[in-house]
C-alpha cells in the first residue's frame, strides 16, 4: 500500500496543475488532480486525501463552493491558491475554513514549505506530544482526539488550524502572544511577510466559542501587540 501523503490539486490551468504535480511528486507526495470544483469534490470523496491545494477562480464550480462543501464533511487541511490580491477574497476563503492561502505567482519552494507545515500540524495534533488529549480552562474544554471544543453546554467542531491555535493559546493562557509567535509556533512558518492569517483565524474562533464575538471573554486582543487567552 502506498504510504505517501496524498495531495489533491484543483486548478483550471492545466500547465499550473502539471507544475504542481511534478513538484509534489518529486517531494514524494502522491497527487490527485482536478480542473474544477465539481471534479475536485468527486475526487475528494473517491480518494483518501491528506491535504487540498485549491484554486479560487474556476469554471462550473469555484473554489469557494468546493471549500464550503469539503469543510462540512472533513477537517483536512486546505490551502487556497489565488491570483487575486484583494483582501476580501483571501478573508472569504479563510472564513469558510481554509487553513492558509498562497497568492499566485509563488515559488514552488514556498508552496512545499506550506504543505509540509500543514501536514506537520495534523501529525502534531494526532501525537498529542504537547499535552493531555483533553484540556480544560474554566468553561472551555478542548478534545484533541475528536477535534471539538465545548464551551459550557455548547459543543463546536474545529478545523485542524483552529484546533491547533486554540490548543496553543490555552497552553499559554494569560501570556501575550504576538502574531509572529503564533505564525511560527502554530502555522510553522519562519517567514511572515504581510499576512492576516492570525487575525482572521482568531475572528473565526471567536465566532465559534464566544457568546458575543464583538466582546470576547476568552480570546482577548492586546492592542497593537497580539492576543492572549484569558487566564
* Domain-located, residue 179: yes
> Average pLDDT of 162-186?
92
**Same domain assignment for residues 138 and 115:** no
| 119 and 21 share one domain | yes
CA distance 57 to 112: 21
pTM: 0.82
Q: Decide which of 97 and 191 is more confident.
A: 97
Is residue 21 domain-shared with residue 114, that is, in the same domain?
Answer: yes
Shared-domain flag, residues 121 and 139: no
Higher pLDDT, 8 or 136: 8
Residue 1 lies in a domain: no
CATH number of the domain within which 164 lies? 1.10.10.10
Which cell numbers in the block locate residue 28?
Answer: 514524494
63 with 139, same domain: the answer is no
Q: Does residue 129 surpass a pLDDT of 60?
A: no
| 121, 133: one domain | no
Domain span holding position 77? 6-125
The CA-based angle 107-168-94, given to 5 degrees, is 45
Q: How confident is the model at residue 91 (pLDDT cuts 50, 70, 90)?
A: confident
Last residue of a domain, one of 60, 95, 125: 125
Q: What is the average pLDDT value for the chain, to the nearest integer?
A: 88
Q: Are residues 166 and 87 in the same domain?
A: no
Cell numbers at residue 177, please? 502572544
In this structure, are 172 and 105 located in the same domain?
no
CATH code of the domain covering residue 119: 3.40.50.2300
* Whether residues 13 and 119 fall in one domain: yes
126-135, 161-170, 205-214, range with the lowest pLDDT: 126-135
Residue 156 lies in a domain: yes
What string of H, E and C letters represents the secondary structure of the chain? CCCCCEEEEECCCHHHHHHHHHHHHHCCCEEEEECCHHHHHHHHHHCCCCEEEEECCCCCCCHHHHHHHHHHHCCCCEEEEECCCCHHHHHHHHHCCCCEEEECCCCHHHHHHHHHHHHHHHHHHHHCCCCCCEEEECCEEEECCCCEEEECCEEEECCHHHHHHHHHHHHCCCCCEEHHHHHHHHHCCCCCCCCCHHHHHHHHHHHHHCCCCCCCCCEEEECCCEEEECC
| Lowest-confidence segment of 42-46, 169-173, 189-193, 210-214 by average pLDDT | 189-193
> Which of 62-66, 128-132, 204-208 is predicted with the least confidence, judged by mean pLDDT?
128-132
Q: How many domains does the chain have?
A: 2
Q: Quick check: 195 pLDDT over 80?
A: no
In a domain, 52, yes or no: yes
- Percent of the chain residues past pLDDT 90, beyond the cut: 54
How big is the CA angle at 7 (ends 157 and 128), to the nearest 5 degrees? 45
Domain termination site, one of 91, 110, 125: 125
Average pLDDT over residues 176-196: 82
Residues 25 and 46 in one domain: yes
Burial 69-92 (b: 16+ CB within 10 A, else e): bbbeebbbbbbbbbeeeeeebbeb
- Give 23 or 147, the one with higher predicted confidence: 23
Residues 15 and 116 in one domain: yes
Q: Is 72 left (phi over 0), alpha (psi -120 to 50) or beta?
A: alpha
Note whether 104 and 137 are same-domain residues: no
Among 125, 147, 165, residue at a domain's last position: 125
Compute the average pLDDT of residues 127-142: 75
Q: What's the rounded mean pLDDT across residues 149-159?
A: 88
Amino acid at each position: 500500500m502506498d504510504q505517501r501523503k496524498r495531495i489533491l490539486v484543483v486548478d483550471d490551468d492545466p500547465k499550473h496543475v502539471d507544475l504542481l504535480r511534478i513538484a509534489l511528486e518529486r517531494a514524494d507526495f502522491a497527487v490527485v488532480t482536478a480542473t474544477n470544483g465539481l471534479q475536485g469534490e468527486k475526487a475528494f470523496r473517491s480518494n483518501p486525501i491528506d491535504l487540498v491545494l485549491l484554486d479560487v477562480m474556476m469554471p462550473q464550480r469555484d473554489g469557494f463552493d468546493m471549500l464550503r462543501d469539503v469543510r462540512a464533511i472533513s477537517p483536512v487541511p486546505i490551502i487556497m491558491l489565488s491570483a487575486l490580491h484583494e483582501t476580501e477574497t483571501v478573508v472569504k476563503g479563510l472564513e469558510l475554513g481554509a487553513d492558509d492561502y498562497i497568492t499566485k505567482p509563488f515559488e514552488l519552494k514556498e508552496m512545499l514549505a506550506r504543505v509540509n507545515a500543514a501536514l506537520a500540524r495534523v501529525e502534531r495534533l494526532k501525537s498529542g506530544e504537547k499535552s493531555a488529549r483533553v484540556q480544560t480552562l474554566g468553561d472551555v474544554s478542548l478534545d484533541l482526539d475528536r477535534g471539538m471544543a465545548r464551551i459550557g453546554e455548547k459543543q463546536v467542531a474545529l478545523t485542524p488550524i483552529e484546533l491547533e491555535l486554540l490548543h496553543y493559546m490555552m497552553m499559554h493562557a494569560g501570556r501575550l502572544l504576538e502574531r509572529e509567535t503564533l505564525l511560527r509556533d502554530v502555522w510553522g512558518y519562519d517567514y511572515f511577510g504581510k499576512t492576516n492569517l492570525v487575525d482572521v483565524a482568531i475572528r473565526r474562533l471567536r465566532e465559534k466559542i464566544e457568546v458575543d464575538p464583538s466582546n470576547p471573554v476568552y480570546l482577548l486582543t492586546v492592542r497593537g501587540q497580539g492576543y492572549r487567552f484569558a487566564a
